[in-house]
Structure 1
Amino acid sequence: MTQASALNDEEAAPPSLKARHALLKRLADVVSLPASRINAFERAVTGDLLVEMLRLGSTEERRRVAARLAPLAELPSSVARLLLRDEPEVARLLIEQCASLSDADLVGCARDAGPEHRLIMAERRGLSEIVTETLFGFGEMEVMEAVLRNPTARLSQVGVEAVVGLSRTHPKLSGLLLKRPELRPAGAYVMFWWCGPDDRRTILQRFAVSREVMQEVSEDVFAMAAAEGWSDPVARKALQFIERRQRNRAAIDKSPFDGLEHALSVAAQDGLSRETASEIAFLAGVKPLTGAKILGDPGGEPLAILCKATGLSRADLLNLWRSMRRPETTADGGLHPDLERVQITYEMLAVDRAQTVLRYWNWSLSSALTPSLLRAIREGEDEVIDEYSAPERAAMMVLTEDLKR
């Protein structure tokens, strides 16, 4: 049924409702008049009267009016509020077709209506950040997936972080989020820990960025910091992230091993003990907690990142793999798929980009891990997390499950 025929059926209406249908059509026509024919106050009063009639009318009557009003460039707020909260078949006409709806209209509908309304809204063109953030807030997977598939929807960073956190228990969200332009390296590096092999490859290809520009602009700052005796912890931490050198040379003097390669060679023969794992972490320039997370990862790709970032060879990567007693071959003597995947990861990464990923993990999993943050993670106190600190938020998402065990 067309919009014209939907409201032009006065002759077909039962005699008792003929006047009502006629009046609904006329009031809808008045509301539809251009601004040159009716001012805002007249439109609002007409809208109020229309709402009173629609409240007592049938679903079909409200659907007809919604179809008539959907194309309008200006819609009385009282009418929009009523119809958006109506049955999904009525609200859909406005949600999908009415370009004049404001963010306030959509947010109000999302909060006051039901899941079916939110699913319809998730597919609307041009959703703003505040609307998508509101939709994400309900935690409805079908709605969230629809928003992520909507190429015209815009996501806020708060909304993206919410999806990153939920992707740990809902893996389907990871693949959808990786296609979004709003996802930033901080979120991708966090999500890496629970992603599957294909998504991990996508993260490394897209988000393992170079620090070359930062190194160029801060080259002289290293000398300034050294002249100050590295006394400023803020500058020191930032420069540690930027610098080209990855290994901890000072750790060699205190280590029972001659270097990182020696530690891996011994571990390949004797097995990876807790003490050796800590030494490998120190020699590689990362904290033991970061090293433990990398070595304990079931997929193995972080091992490739650690080896490439520290300048280790393919033979060293194999020694690290052997130290953990992971399978090297299949039953028929072929290369084990897990080891093959890790070796491919090693080959695909440049040293500088691998260092960026490794240092971000170390930054978020250790440098940002203050006693208060650790306590908050264990107790689930999200409110103490600094909303402006990407590393603190990353640590919260990555370590929450680990530290509760």
Structure 2
Amino acid sequence: MSSDLASHIVDFKSLALEQNIERRSELARHVALLFARTWERCSDDQIDIYDNVMLRLSEMVEQHALSYMAQQLAEVRRAPEQTVRKLAFDEIEIAEPLLRRSNVLRERDLVNIARDKGDEHRLAIAQRDIISENISDVLVNHGNTEVKQTVAANEGAVLGQRTVNVLVNDAHGDEVLQLALGQRADLADAHIEALINFASEQVRRQLIKEGATDVAGKLPKAARIAAGKLSNEFWLGRYDFETGRGRVMELVREGKLNEGALRVFAEEDRFAEAVAAFAMLAGIGHSEAQHWTVRNDTEPFLVVSRASGIGMMTVQALLKIGPWRYRLSNSQREDALKSYQALDQQKAYKQFITWKEQWMA
């Protein structure tokens, strides 16, 4: 029915006989502009009519008109799907704004385009605000160096394990890719260490070339230590500890800070507040609390928790929040809880006091 209505709106038979192609292009631009300005008031049936009109017009006009149509439709949330899909599969001069911004294109559309079209199309897709794991996988496996670098630098790109492995492997000798990966917020510790090892290996070779073999031999260990520190700082940099600490201080002033409040923060995954509350209840510095609740070695956290009388349910909740949600496996959490249960509170307290004396010194 919408096709019949489209024919009533535009006389396509007469338009096809029109010798002046610029008139067709002008009509196509006017229809696209009209829709872009009125789409929010259009019903589904009206959008279908526009879809039929623009789809048929797109077959009768030149590239500059198609580019204009794509620009107008790129930002529209309810754009005509058939038209958008057709233009997105067209030449990159037409498709680019839709590939970069249109939310009408579905995952399967983008996957097909990334697989079947060229690197220019893949590069445009790689710049979208959000890219699913499947799309990222196709882009990385089919794309050139620039596409891979763009995907790696895109914080909205979800990267699966296999995709990250490909990117890390390709990062050998590619400093741009190394930097892009190193700044991602979802990189596993092993990948961070691998990236640091790339850089350290380049330095090591240069040192050996210069005859500094003793220093070069120490680099692998230094790289592992640096990777651990970088990984910790990387995770801590994602949280607003200043605001979290302020909220906890409000509870302190109201006399409401206790283990129950700490457990609530943990259950709500409010990591910054949980860290501040843990520091206050345990009587340790905020900086120590930050680092002890982010590192893979959970022993200091467990010792302080046992020494401070923090219960197992609260410890269990804390092991599941913030960075530990990603950095600890289920088996590591289970082992940590077993270690906590095995700790003698008096011995834990003595160890805690020894540490505090070391800090003060």
Q: Counting helix residues as a fraction of each chain, which structure ranks higher?
A: 2
TM-score, normalisation: structure 2:
0.48
Higher relative contact order (CA 8 A, sep 6+): 1
TM-score (norm 1): 0.44
